[in-house]
Structure 1
Amino acid sequence: MQRENQTVLKEFILRGFSINGRGQTVLFTLLLLIYILTLIGNITIIVLVWSNPILQKPMYMFLANLSFVEIWFTTSTMPKMLSGLLLENNYISFNGCFLQYFFFFSLGTTECFLLAIMGYDRYLAICHPLRYNVLMSRRNCLCLGASCWISGFIWSMLPVSLISQLPFCGENEIDHILCDTGPLLELVCVRDFTTEVACSICTSSMLLLTCLFTSITYAFIIQTIIRIPSSAGRRKAFSTCASHLTVVFMMFGCTMYMYIRPVGKHPLPFDKLLATMYTIVTPFLNPIIYSLRNKEFVKVVRKVIGH
């Protein structure tokens, strides 16, 4: 009976942004522009890192990885979001919804792991500068980057597989901008407490572990920076971490509120706004934050423009 109920629902409707008329056109144009600029900005970072020997360093290699994640992370949601602003009913198939959910969750998890590893890279560079080249060799850098990708995709298999096996019937409207854990669990015919707890533990543990690891590395970094005798040295050391810290606060601030909070009714417009922040705004701002605050990167950009 459970399997029959599940096959009753063959598609969902993503309600997305509740905007009509001219506002819908304006929002579509704005989101399309942001999406295009996000792709251009992140692709530019990848090309510059892999084509310039000056940027062949662990910090920039992790940044190129992050940009690659951001491209596919925003692509997992934006095209469907844009089509929903053009169409009266934004339908998405059952398989398509869970495919979006899988890539959204996997790439988001990979990004969290990458941000944690980037914090560890800054910790080694500032706290252990003499051993940095040995501890963060090219081989170690590649292994750490690969482990982030593998861990991100493996971690997401549990919640996606558990929720996809639940019986869906009746209501098929997802009052959100994408297929995500909370909105999907609200549509199941019979609530499964075990599945809900497993999904909650899986998501919250990933966020808490990566955030805690990043916080510990920055506690050591700040401790080391304070001990630097010259103010110029302290400013230089902190400037190498400022961009990463900004992105960490943006990403973890929004996601931890969304996925680590008490169960209950939460304002949907605010949830959609926060989801927009970490699915659209953060991937758009990351290339700007990292490039404008990094003198070495700016120098390479000027050199390329000059040629």
Structure 2
Amino acid sequence: MSEKTYLQALNEALRQEMERDGNILILGEDVGRFGGCFGVTQGLFDQFGEDRVKDTPITESVIVGAAAGAAVAGLRPVAELMFVDFIGVAMDQLFNQAAKMRFMFGGKAKVPMTLRMPQGAGIGAAAQHSQSLESWFMNIPGLKVVIPSTPYDAKGLLISAIRDDNPVVFLEHKLLYGVSGEVPDESYAIELGKADIKREGADVTIVATSQMVYAALQAAEKLKADGIEAEVVDPRCLQPLDSATILDSVKKTHALVVAHEAVKFGGPGAEIAALVAEEAVEYLDAPIKRVGAPFCPVPFSPPLEQYYIPNADNIVAAVKSIR
């Protein structure tokens, strides 16, 4: 294994998959010579050329629509939007076309496309460039939703997303691009829909996604000082969701806190809380608690933005309210 950043892990996954399969192409704004808005496609244009690494107009509807069409025609496109916030102008192409084609044509049409989108707050990009919108995509049958937290997971899950015969929404938190971790140099795939227990514990389950996995791990260390051993579960995929791992953890710990950066109201934590309430309520010794962002646009002011983003202390407070 080598120490790699989250960004480098994604870049390596793209490179290795493109070397393996000539049907894979990349398209998006500035993904070519510039290497992508955040640098994820750096160097791929030089290696694979403009036929396979395509700069597009500043038109998200074209990017997503072209990716869906290319996928149905037999290619495996990996499309990039600069920010998840821009998906609004391309939702018809995503949820009415890409997500439904396989169903509407009785399985005869496959749509093996991956849509990579950076999301999340923390870089002072204000309300239109900082949202976490994973719950939108969770609610669309036909889409798979991947949200990795570590460099290791990012590489393995992106490889699986590219190889999948269904449209996959792949969400990357902008603050994670510089996070480092051990990543194998060789190609490997992580099964979509398989959660990972980032920390074992017996007293409370914390289900956390994306950047909040790190906040949950920090919270777990703080709770340890008070004699509370938290188990941190990272779903890694929100659709399909690994219900079994979450339920097994709750059955062991008898308490649940869910943490995500998306707004608390209607966020992914609501679905996870409902799952546990329906399937394992008899194992709970206390109410389920959710930690999420307030129901308002992401502020531009740095102090307000930091207040807006959930953190380890918020998770600790939620755990202590039930333990």
TM class by smaller structure: under 0.3
Whichever of the two has the greater Rg, that structure is 1
TM-score, normalisation: structure 1 = 0.24
Name whichever structure is richer in helix by fraction: 1
Given the two structures, how large is their TM-score scaled by the length of structure 2? 0.23
